[in-house]
Amino acid sequence: MNSVLVFALAGVGLILLGLYALLVQRHLLRKVLAFNVISSGIFLILAGLARRAPGAEPDPVPQAMVLTGIVVAVAATALALAMIQALRTATGRTRLDDDGED
């Protein structure tokens, strides 16, 4: 059992949890959190793949991708939160409900 593999598999677990919550939860803020959990899972797998050669220097290319990805994820989160707020101002709702089919 390899430490790096543990984290990569935990990344898969995060993706599963995030996808489930994204589909099941109705509150939009929860969907935003779920998106972030999914992206964290993807980042974990990528950073794990950078460490496949035991004892050697980690691969800088996936690390650079994750590094910029984290910052972009925060910006996307901020945009999503602003959109939720705009939705609330316009309709008074903060979640997606099935009723009404709108």
Partner 1 sequence: MAWLNLLPLAIDLVLALTLLWLAWRALSSPDLFRAVVLFIALGLVLGLVWVRLDAVDIALAEIALGAGVTGALLLAALAKLQPGATDSAEPASAAEFAAALEGDPDTPRPALAERAATGTAPIALGSTLDERPVGAAAGTAPIALRWLIALLLIPPCIGLGLVVWQLWVPAPGLTDLVAARLDESGVTYPVTAVLLNFRGYDTLLELAVLLLALIGVWSLSPAPHLDDAEPEPALAALSRLLAPLMILVAAYLVWIGAQAPGGAFQAGSVLGAAGVLLRLSGWRLSPRATGWPLRLALVLGVAVFAFIGLAVIGLGQPLLGYPAGWAKPAILAIELAATLSIGTILAALFIGGRP
**Which of 68, 91, 101, 102 is in the footprint of partner 1 by CB under 8 A?**
68
- Whole-angstrom Cα distance, residue 67 to residue 86? 30
The terminus-to-terminus CA distance of the chain in angstroms comes to 49
Does 35 bind partner 1 (CB under 8 A)? Our answer is no
Q: Which is nearer to partner 1, 75 or 101 (CB)?
A: 75
Q: How far is the CB of 12 from partner 1 (least distance, A)?
A: 5
- Whole-angstrom Cα distance, residue 48 to residue 41? 10
Return phi, psi of residue 95, to 5°: -145, 165
**Which of 75, 91, 101, 102 is in the footprint of partner 1 by CB under 8 A?**
75
Site for partner 1 in 8-27 (CB under 8 A): 8-21, 23-27
Does 66 bind partner 1 (CB under 8 A)? Our answer is yes
Q: Which is nearer to partner 1, 14 or 101 (CB)?
A: 14
Return phi, psi of residue 27, to 5°: -70, 135
